A and B are shown apart, each in its own frame.
Chain A
Amino acid sequence: MKLLRTFAARIVGHAIRIFARAITAVRADWQGIEPVPRQRVYYSNHTSNADMPMIWSVLPAALRRTVRPVAAADYWLKNPLRAFVGPEVFNCVLVDRRPEVNDKPMDKILAALDEGSSLIIFPEGNRNMTEDPLLPFKAGLYNMGVARPDVDLVPTWVANLNTIMPKGEVIPLPLICTVTFGAPIHVAEGESKDAFLKRASDALVALAPQVQS
């Protein structure tokens, strides 16, 4: 039964990647890093629920096997299908966002890092519905950078998904999606939280493709 579930998870994973490629021709642009197996935290802008599957889809197989998206438990445990896809297909680190639950998300994240996994995180905390390129970052990225200073923090810009699948629309538009990986950053010696988060945010926005229209 365990084997069957693992097998099913792999099939569903392939289906998701094929679907993502067929609709958006998604591709990776490795600007600041090489696609080599190193422990990394890919931190990304968040405009759509499809962001994480897009990043996951463009990672080469060897990197995909060791990457764990950090995702909201309330979303991924909502029904049995999601509870299969989130934890088993994407191997998510599920964290509870509800204020009344004292879940200690950072402990789970650090535990995943200590197991050698790379992570995908969305430091804005929520989907960005504004006209601004990014919402202010939450402190998590800084805390990870301080607690595990050897891990590369890689800015990862997902372009176009807010047009492909905006909140409230049902049909995805087949537009081309590009995932751009920038140069890794680290928390500098004595750098304040706000200064670091500003620097991290600027490094991410700098990756957004400049298409004037």
Chain B
Amino acid sequence: MSNTTSDILLLALGSFGILLAMTFLGEVLRARQPADTLNPVLDTYMTRVQSWWGMVTFIGLALISGKVGVMVLFAFASFAALREFLTLTTKAQADHISLALAFFVVLPLQYVFIALGWDGLYTVFIPVYAFLLLPIVSALRGNANRFLIRVAETQWALMISVFCLSHVPALMAMQIAGYGDRAVLLIAFLVMVVQLGDLLEYFLGRRIGRTKIAPGLSPKTWEGLVCGVVSAMLIGALLNWITPFGVFGAMAMAGAASLVGMFGNIVFAAIKRDRGVKDWSHLIPGQGGFVDQLDSVIFAAPIFYHLTKYFYG
């Protein structure tokens, strides 16, 4: 077993340990309750923990299986996210072909380019080529009604669900001196610091949060955000052994990713509020949709990718 694989297993075991503790906590709380009382908060918590078990398992298996597994997992996540996003966007029958191209051509090609490591192409394919080509396809059908809104929202959906999210597996293609084949661990690092930072932001924000960041939009508070980012930095420091960043570098990278991710979550809250929905879909029990679960990772991924490339690549 290679070093990288044993590190992934170690991280997976660590995550399972945390989940085991969380499951245990939930069961203890449940056991202390009279059987006939309802506790929706506890039920939601337990459903979420169950979903996390699944997620850690899937990500762990994908990381161990290597490039193909990671590409398939994130291509599927992109597909699910794009489906949730485009379900809510403005569209007309004139966009049918361009939307089909987005799902069945642009999305798979983006992941093929990433698997091949063609960074000159996958960093411009959606922002340039899809950006120009899909509106042409829509325009040829001759329906100008709300045209700019339609093409802009479609492009936003692709940027978020495919372009940004695909920067997570793109970390595997990163060439870092002295880091060898361990770039896959950057995925584990990014996902763990961002998601654990979110989780701690949620819990700490509930306890000590006072000042809303975006009142009427998101329950996030400045106090919670600072606690969450600091927690993410500490977790980043603890995980620095899987990165090429060193202790302080890992803290800075974790902090940057977590901060961008939290603001990303507020952006998604604004979109959901605008469209009058609470969740993006129902596909992940207790969490809502894939976009609900991945929103912060989606925002953090391209920033994390480019910071890594600029400072360590």
Partner-B contacts on A (CB < 8 A): 25, 27, 160, 163, 166, 168-169, 171, 173-176, 210-213
Contact = CB atoms under 8 A, between A and B. Distances in A.
B96 A212 contact: no
B276 A176 contact: no
B275 A213 contact: yes
Contact of A173 (B79, B90, B103, B277): B103
Contact of B282 (A27, A168, A171, A211): A27
B104 A211 contact: no
A25 B87 CA distance: 11
A175 B86 contact: yes
Contacts of B90: 213
Interface-centre pick from A25, A166, A169 (highest chain B CB count, 10 A): A25
B281 interface: yes
B93 interface: yes
Contact of A211 (B84, B86, B103, B275): B275
A25 B289 CA distance: 11
13 contacts: A25-B283, A169-B93, A171-B97, A171-B104, A173-B86, A173-B100, A174-B79, A174-B103, A176-B87, A211-B88, A211-B276, A212-B275, A213-B89
A35 to B, nearest CB: 15
B104 A213 contact: no
Nearest to A211: B275
B281 A25 contact: yes
A27 B279 CA distance: 15
Instruction: Name A's interface SS.
Output: loop
B99 interface: yes
Contacts, number: 44
Given A25-B283, A166-B93, A211 B277 contact: yes
Contacts of B276: 210-212
B30 interface: no
A166 B87 contact: no
A119 to B, nearest CB: 27
Given A211-B277, A212-B275, A173 B89 contact: no
Contacts of B83: 25, 174-176
A13 B89 CA distance: 32
A163 B91 contact: yes
Given A160-B87, A163-B91, A213-B90, 15 more contacts: A27-B282, A163-B93, A166-B93, A169-B93, A169-B96, A171-B100, A173-B99, A174-B83, A175-B87, A176-B83, A176-B87, A210-B276, A211-B277, A212-B274, A213-B275
A21 to B, nearest CB: 10
Nearest to B90: A213
A171 B101 CA distance: 10
Contacts of A163: 91, 93
Interface in B271-309: 274-277, 281-283
Contacts of A210: 276
